[in-house]
Amino acid sequence: MVDIDLNYIGALDRATMESERPAVNAALGRSLASEGYVIRRKPHEHAGGKWLVRFTSALGGNAILETDVNYMAHQPLFGLARLELLALGGIRASEVPVLDLHELVAGKLVALCRKNFAFLLDLTANERAFLSGVLDRGEIDANLLDTAPEIRTRIASMSMLTWKTRHVRKHRGLEV
């Protein structure tokens, strides 16, 4: 099995991202089909979802390609890097936008530590207040965080946090 994770990193505003999403998904579907992949499942989730496609393995037999497309992280905290990719099937792409290495490492660390090591974090009073706002009241106050102003601005407009705060307000009866 091959697993590929893709992040939509196009428009920063949610409305534009939502309007571009069907075209991005359609283009991915066309691309997979044109290369001979048999699409077994398309995503239907809010945040993105998993494409499952079948292909003939170079080793013989069938294999599965899982492609996750994430639309919630469309505003990287650390910006983008541009890379030249290795040639694949005779095609070489250059200036391909990818997440900054810091963003990738941070994401992997979050996944590794989320449930097992949270108790080790010594949060400041302001960090606890920020998390309480998000998790208890459905509010985002990035000004509580001790980080660069441009990072606070990006945090305040993260789709993932916006979705989480809406979800908290709805389930706690705080919807206005």
Low-confidence ranges of the chain (pLDDT < 50): none
Question: How high is the pLDDT of residue 128?
Answer: 92
Beta strands in 42-95 (DSSP E): 48-56, 62-70, 80-83
**Strand 2-7 relative to strand 62-70, pairing:** parallel
Q: Whose CA is closest to 169, among 128, 140, 126?
A: 140
Phi, psi of 21 (to 5 degrees): -55, -45
- Contact status, residue 168 vs residue 138, Cβ threshold 8 Å: yes
What is the domain partition of the chain in residue ranges? 2-75, 122-171
What pLDDT, on a 0 to 100 scale, did the predictor assign at position 142?
97
Predicted confidence at residue 131, as pLDDT, reads 93
Amino acid 137: pLDDT? 94
Question: Minimal CA–CA distance to 49: which of 79, 99, 8?
Answer: 8
Considering the entire predicted model, what is its pTM?
0.60
Confidence (pLDDT) at 47 = 55
142 close to 162: Cβ distance less than 8 angstroms: no
pLDDT of amino acid 109: 84
pLDDT of residue 176: 59
